[in-house]
Amino acid sequence: MSENIEHVKCLIIGSGPAGYTAAIYASRADLKPVMYTGMLAGGQLTQTTDVENFPGYPNGIMGPEMMEDFRHQAHRLGTDIRFGYVSSVDFSSLPHKVVVDENKTILADTVIISTGASAKWLGLESEQKYSGFGVSACAVCDGFFFKGQDVAIVGAGDTAAEEATYLAKLCRKVYMIVRRDEFRASKAMVHRTLNTHNIEILYNTETKEILGDGQSVNGVSVFNNKTNEERDLDVTGFFVAIGHSPNTEIFKEWIDMDETGYIKTKPGSTQTNIEGVFCCGDAQDHIYRQAVTAAGTGCMAAIDAERYLAAKEHPVIA
């Protein structure tokens, strides 16, 4: 076989809690997994600071450090971890054909997709400057750090409304920045938001700039697009809840997805519509999007892959 073509039992595409957990379980099942990390090795958690809601870290841990722990564990158990990105796939026949970095072909008996999702941002320079230092795309992950403080959240859909009411239980005041004169959320979520006493909704309002002292957020500049009035909100936290984009574009030709690009898996499993292809983590989860739930589905994907291979090797004869 050409050195640019390699045959593997189990290929894991993408790192992060889902990918590394799949790698740990696949290694222990002797599937000799090969992982390609993607361009952001370790996934979204490498861009966060304190993680306090993952079991087993009683004092909390920095996101990048936690992903290093995951990586070391997967490597110690035998995962072949490689930095690189998948440039194309062909799932038309077995083994599955996956091209890495546009020049190396992997023939894989099973494929585990753990490419995750990326938060949508407003595109402000200050947003990236203070990401992890007062700016967050996950209220459930980071709301605890702003207990008793004033915060702002931008968004108008169900996720924004849900996160605003979640923050309202922890924070003194929540400013909700809504670009239009109405929500996009369901009536039930709008009702819940409107009836939460410490949420102030700013309609027809857009974020102009996130303000800070160079270390952390201390305010946000907004303007009303109807009155052209500008004002500064005195907040220490700024949450972006305008949606996520699953990193699944490359699989669109082959894998069944919902209208927003999240991969569909069969109920009670991580199996996709393609035989031998499994999906875990945020690439298929638009509801929970937590490190611990991603890790759980990573475990499921590896077990599903191992059982699939075992059944192929030792078919049950009726």
Tens-digit pLDDT profile for residues 147-204: 999 999 999 998 899 999 999 999 999 999 999 999 988 899 999 999 999 999 999 9
| Burial (CB count <10 Å: 0-12, 13-18, 19+), residue 167 | buried
The confidence score (pLDDT) of residue 291 equals 92
Q: Above 90 in pLDDT, residue 67?
A: yes
| Burial (CB count <10 Å: 0-12, 13-18, 19+), residue 269 | middle
Average pLDDT over residues 67-95: 96
Q: Which of 109, 142, 150, 304 is catalytic?
A: 142
Q: Above 70 in pLDDT, residue 317?
A: no
280 is catalytic: no
The confidence score (pLDDT) of residue 63 equals 87
Q: Which of 141, 171, 279, 280 is catalytic?
A: 141
Higher local confidence (pLDDT), 317 or 155:
155
Rounded mean pLDDT of the chain? 94
Q: Model confidence at 68, in pLDDT bands (50, 70, 90)?
A: very high
Q: Model confidence at 220, in pLDDT bands (50, 70, 90)?
A: very high
Q: Above 70 in pLDDT, residue 2?
A: no
Domains by residue range for the chain, with CATH: 5-118+244-313 (3.50.50.60), 121-240 (3.50.50.60)
138 is catalytic: yes
Q: How many Å apart are CA 193 and CA 34, to the nearest integer?
A: 46
The confidence score (pLDDT) of residue 313 equals 86
The confidence score (pLDDT) of residue 315 equals 78
The confidence score (pLDDT) of residue 243 equals 86
Long-range contacts of 257-266 (CB under 8 A, 24+ apart): 258/286, 260/286, 262/117, 262/286, 263/113
The confidence score (pLDDT) of residue 44 equals 79
List the one residue out of 155, 140, 131 whose CA is nearest residue 217: 131
The confidence score (pLDDT) of residue 202 equals 97
Higher local confidence (pLDDT), 145 or 3:
145
The tokens of 52 are what?
């306090």
Q: Model confidence at 141, in pLDDT bands (50, 70, 90)?
A: confident
Contacts of 205 (CB under 8 A, 6+ apart): 177, 178, 179, 222, 223, 224, 225
Instruction: Answer whether 43's CB lies under 8 Å from 35's CB.
Output: no
Question: Measured in whole angstroms, how far is the alpha carbon of residue 103 from the centre of its chain?
Answer: 28
Q: Model confidence at 9, in pLDDT bands (50, 70, 90)?
A: very high
Q: Which of 10, 50, 69, 138 is catalytic?
A: 138
Render pLDDT for 117-138 as a digit per residue (tens, 0 to 9): 988 899 999 999 999 899 999 9
